[in-house]
Amino acid sequence: MNALLKTLRWPNEGRDRQRLALWTAEEVASATGGTASGDFQVAGVEMDSRDVRSGDLFFALKGESLDGHVYLDKAFANGAVAAIVDRPIEQPHVLVDDTSRALELLAKTARDRASACVIGVTGSVGKTGVKEAIFASLERASKGAAHRSVRSYNNHVGVPLSLSRMPSRSRFGVFEMGMNHAGEISGLTQQVRPHVAVVTTIAPAHIENLGSEEAIADAKAEIFGGLQAGGTAVIPADSPHFARLRAAAEARGARVLAFGQSEHAQVRLLDAIPAANGGSLVTAAIDERRLCYSVAEPGDHWVSNSLCVMAAVHAAGGDLGAAGLALAEMGGLKGRGARHRLRVPGGHALLIDESYNANPASMRATLGQLGATPASRRIAVLGSMKELGDFAAGFHAQLAEPLLQANVDFAVLVGEEMKALARELGKGAHGALGNPIAYAHCENPGEAIAALEEFGLASGDAVLVKGSNSVGLGRVVAHFTAREG
Q: Which amino acid is at 83?
A: A
The terminus-to-terminus CA distance of the chain in angstroms comes to: 51
pLDDT < 70 stretches in the chain: 1-20, 206, 429-435, 485
Is residue 215 helix, strand or coil? Answer: helix
Is residue 199 helix, strand or coil? Answer: strand
Q: Which amino acid is at 39?
A: D
Do 428 and 472 fall within a single domain? yes
How far is residue 420's CA from residue 395's CA, in Å, rounded to a whole number?
9
Do 233 and 273 fall within a single domain? yes
Residue 107 inside a domain? The answer is: no
Residue 347: CATH number of its domain: 3.90.190.20
Q: Which amino acid is at 448?
A: A
Contact 286, 264 (CB under 8 A): no
DSSP for 63-88 reads -SS-BGGGGHHHHHHTT-SEEEESS-
Closest CA to 300 of 260, 242, 349, 357: 260
Is residue 351 helix, strand or coil? Answer: strand
Do 272 and 317 fall within a single domain? yes
Do 224 and 356 fall within a single domain? no
Residue 435 is predicted with a pLDDT of: 64
DSSP 202: -
DSSP 38: S
Computed over its alpha carbons, how large is the radius of gyration of the chain? 24
DSSP 17: G
Closest CA to 310 of 327, 297, 298: 327
Sign of CA dihedral 227, 232, 235, 237: positive
Residue 469 inside a domain? The answer is: yes
Element (H, E) at 273: strand 267-274
Residue 387 is predicted with a pLDDT of: 84
How far is residue 35's CA from residue 272's CA, in Å, rounded to a whole number?
58
How far is residue 425's CA from residue 168's CA, in Å, rounded to a whole number?
55
Condensed to tens digits (0 to 9), the pLDDT of residues 242-263 reads 999 999 999 999 999 999 999 9
Residues in Cβ contact with 404 at an 8 Å cutoff, skipping those fewer than 6 apart: 429, 430, 431, 437
Boundary-marking domain end, from 277, 308, 329: 329
Residue 433 is predicted with a pLDDT of: 46
Do 169 and 254 fall within a single domain? yes
DSSP for 379-427 reads EEEEEPPPS-GGGHHHHHHTTHHHHHHTT-SEEEEESGGGHHHHHHHHT
Q: Cα–Cα distances in Å, from 433 out to 405, 407, 425, 427, 437?
A: 12, 9, 15, 17, 10
What residues make up the domain containing 237? Answer: 114-329
Closest CA to 254 of 198, 325, 324: 198
Residue 58 inside a domain? The answer is: yes
Phi, psi of 269 (to 5 degrees): -75, 125
Residue 28: CATH number of its domain: 3.40.1390.10
Do 351 and 386 fall within a single domain? yes
Give the number of C-alpha atoms closer than 13 A to the C-alpha of residue 165, restricted to the C-beta side: 23
Q: What is the pTM of this model?
A: 0.82
> What is the total residue count of the chain?
485
How far is residue 288's CA from residue 266's CA, in Å, rounded to a whole number?
9
Residue 294 inside a domain? The answer is: yes
Closest CA to 374 of 452, 282, 442, 276: 276
Contact 267, 314 (CB under 8 A): yes
Residue 37 inside a domain? The answer is: yes
Residue 265 inside a domain? The answer is: yes
Closest CA to 114 of 153, 151, 163: 163
Do 173 and 78 fall within a single domain? no
Do 129 and 43 fall within a single domain? no
Contact 232, 210 (CB under 8 A): no
Sign of CA dihedral 6, 11, 16, 17: positive
Do 252 and 363 fall within a single domain? no
Residue 177 inside a domain? The answer is: yes
Number of domains making up the chain? 3
Do 169 and 285 fall within a single domain? yes
Do 119 and 206 fall within a single domain? yes
Residue 335 is predicted with a pLDDT of: 77
Boundary-marking domain end, from 304, 329, 354: 329
Boundary-marking domain end, from 277, 294, 329: 329
Residue 10 inside a domain? The answer is: no
Do 191 and 170 fall within a single domain? yes
Q: Cα–Cα distances in Å, from 25 out to 28, 196, 240?
A: 5, 32, 50
Helices (H), 195-299: 207-210, 213-220, 242-251
